[in-house]
Every structure is written in C-alpha cells, then in structure tokens.
C-alpha cells in the first residue's frame, strides 16, 4: 500500500496564518452558538407567554418542552467545551513555536579539566597555580 499523495496547491499558509485561521474559526463558531442561544431564549419566551395565557395548562407539555430546551443547551455546552479545547491547542501551537527558538541556542561544550596532579608535582600547570 502506497502513501497518499497530497496535491500541490499554489497557496500553502505558514504557521502564523494557520493560527489566525484557527482563531477566526473559533470566533465564528462562538458567534453561531450565540445565535442559537438567542433563538432558544426567544423560543422559551414565546412558549411561556402562550403557556401563561392558556387556562387549560398541560404540565406534561411543559415538562416535554423543558427537556427539549435542556437537550439543546446541553449540546451547546458540549460544543463550548470543544471550542475551549481547540483554543487551548491553538495556544499550545503558538507556545511550541516560540520555545524551540529559545532552546535551540547551542551550548558550548564543557571543557575537560586536567586530572589532578600528585602532591609535589612540578609541571607547568602546577607552577602557574
């Protein structure tokens, strides 16, 4: 089985552009979730106005409506968690990008010390010290 071939594209974004695209996608998804939350709030207001005006209230219908709202809100909360993880991963990419530049500075090799001289030695090293 051979490796898949990635077709060449005229535009390949660099890491900075990729991070910007990821942050932009998170922001767009947050906007979409805010619209969903707003629509859900309007749905609740409309339902409650209808429910309070009606003399023959059906509590089972109210409980069923509450379950659908709860399900929608639960899904939105899960999506928010996934967006948080996506943001954390994106920030980690930017941190990892900055760290290698600092860590890549080559350290000078350690100089080996000469072995200690025996007492009473008259070598050049001992005369200098």
**Residue found under tokens 């932009």:** 24
**Domain presence at residue 42:** yes
**Domain presence at residue 3:** no
**Domain presence at residue 32:** yes
Give which of 23, 21, 29, 14 is closest to 91, Cα–Cα: 23
**What pLDDT, in 10s, does the model give residues 33-85?**
999 999 999 999 998 888 888 777 788 888 999 999 999 999 999 999 999 99
**What's the total number of domains in the chain?**
1
**Domain presence at residue 125:** no
**Domain presence at residue 31:** yes
- Measured distance CA(60)–CA(53) in Å, rounded: 17
**What pLDDT, in 10s, does the model give residues 90-106?**
999 888 777 655 555 66
pTM: 0.64
Q: Which structural domain range is residue 75 located in?
A: 15-109
**Domain presence at residue 77:** yes
**Domain presence at residue 122:** no
**107 Cβ contact list (under 8 Å, min separation 6):** none
**What pLDDT, in 10s, does the model give residues 10-27?**
777 888 888 999 999 999
Give which of 17, 39, 22, 37 is closest to 79, Cα–Cα: 37
**Domain presence at residue 119:** no
């Amino acid at each position: 089985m051979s490796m898949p071939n990635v077709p060449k594209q005229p535009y390949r974004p660099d890491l900075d552009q990729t991070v910007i695209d990821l942050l932009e996608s998170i922001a767009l998804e947050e906007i979409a979730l805010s619209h969903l939350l707003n629509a859900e709030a309007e749905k609740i207001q409309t339902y409650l106005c209808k429910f309070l005006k009606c003399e023959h209230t059906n509590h089972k219908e109210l409980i069923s409506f509450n379950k659908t709202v709860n399900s929608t809100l639960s899904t939105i909360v899960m999506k928010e968690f996934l967006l948080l993880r996506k943001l954390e991963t994106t920030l980690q990419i930017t941190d990892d990008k900055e760290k290698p530049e600092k860590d890549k500075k080559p350290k000078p090799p350690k100089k080996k010390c000469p072995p200690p001289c025996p007492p009473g030695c008259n070598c050049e090293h001992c005369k200098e010290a």
